[in-house]
Copies of this chain bind each other. A is one copy, B any other.
């Protein structure tokens, strides 16, 4: 692919794609700016990488349209766009080698239940087990060993990697990606305490609904609702080993980093960003576009959109940073207190 062809490809995504330098050079693939070789394309989206502009071996660097690169165009070419990071991502998509998750068609060892509907172009891998009355949309890829219980519906163009488990009734949208080991729709953790200290299991009769364009990480768990649905909104991204408990509602385009834990009946708004290992108490609500710091402990609802939360128990960033500054200042407070004590003593004696 030549630089000129790359420019044309990026023209699909950006109004303005400007080329500085030679457009005829052949580009073999993408690389990080610090390790790129001749013939490769890289990018700079962050000031601290500008220093590589002069020394990288990359034949093509994608930069912000505001960047002046005149002094380097003898050595390499540049493409200027409004969002060089996204441009590089689109290029990665172009160069990404195809990955075979399951061969086209239905593997002879796959077990397909009764009344299953299978769309066009579906791939189902070795030893996959598809329960009765499942519906598999067109071009869906189901990896080896993935198990769908009865009445699971998978939307078109979704990819389920090997060793995914979807319990009965799970509804999955289109273009969803589910990584290996994730378990969707296991029973919510509900037990009614009895007077003798034992528990009676509360049947978990609801389901999980996953919107379009969701991605779910390896070994993540999303529990079915007790009644109704646990809902993962369109475009949400859920990292590895995340726990989403029964009856949660995760808003559209919300991102949840690894090992975060969302307790039962929590509602999280749209476009929130939840840090890794953050934890949520049950039955609370977060507004849209809230950022939660890693390891934070959310103990109550926050209904003002756009704020950032941090600490345990979590509070708005400004309050928490002030609190942390005060904590760091404790030594100085102690010194001042001791000084006042001794001055006061002198005064009394004096």
A residues near B (Cβ < 8 Å) are: 30-32, 35, 85-86, 89-90, 92-93, 95-97, 99-101, 109, 111, 125-127, 129, 131-132, 143-145, 147, 149-150, 161-163, 165, 167-168, 177, 179-181, 183, 186-187, 189, 191-192, 194, 197-203, 205, 213, 215, 217-219, 221, 223, 226-228, 235, 237, 239-241, 243, 245, 253, 255, 257-259, 261, 263, 270-271, 276-277, 279, 281, 294-295, 297, 312, 322-323, 326-327, 329-331, 333-334, 336-337, 340-341, 343-344, 347-348
B323 and A327 contacting across the interface, CB-CB below 8 Å:
yes
B337 and A237 contacting across the interface, CB-CB below 8 Å:
no
State the CA gap A30–B206 with chains docked (Å).
11
Give every chain B residue within 8 A of A203 (Cβ-Cβ): 89, 92-93, 95-96
Give every chain B residue within 8 A of A161 (Cβ-Cβ): 165, 167, 186
A129 and B129 contacting across the interface, CB-CB below 8 Å:
no
A345 to chain B, nearest CB (A): 9
Give every chain B residue within 8 A of A219 (Cβ-Cβ): 181, 183, 219, 221, 241
Which applies to chain A's interface (DSSP): helix, strand, loop or mixed? Answer: loop
Known: A163-B163, A181-B221. 14 other contacts (CB 8 A): A145-B147, A147-B163, A183-B219, A186-B217, A187-B215, A189-B240, A198-B235, A241-B261, A243-B259, A258-B261, A259-B259, A277-B279, A343-B348, A347-B348
Give 9 pairs: A residue, B residue, CB < 8 Å, sorted on A: A30-B205, A92-B203, A147-B163, A165-B218, A177-B187, A243-B258, A243-B259, A333-B337, A336-B341
A42 to chain B, nearest CB (A): 9
A258 and B245 contacting across the interface, CB-CB below 8 Å:
yes
Give every chain B residue within 8 A of A245 (Cβ-Cβ): 258
Nearest B residue to A247, CB-CB: B32
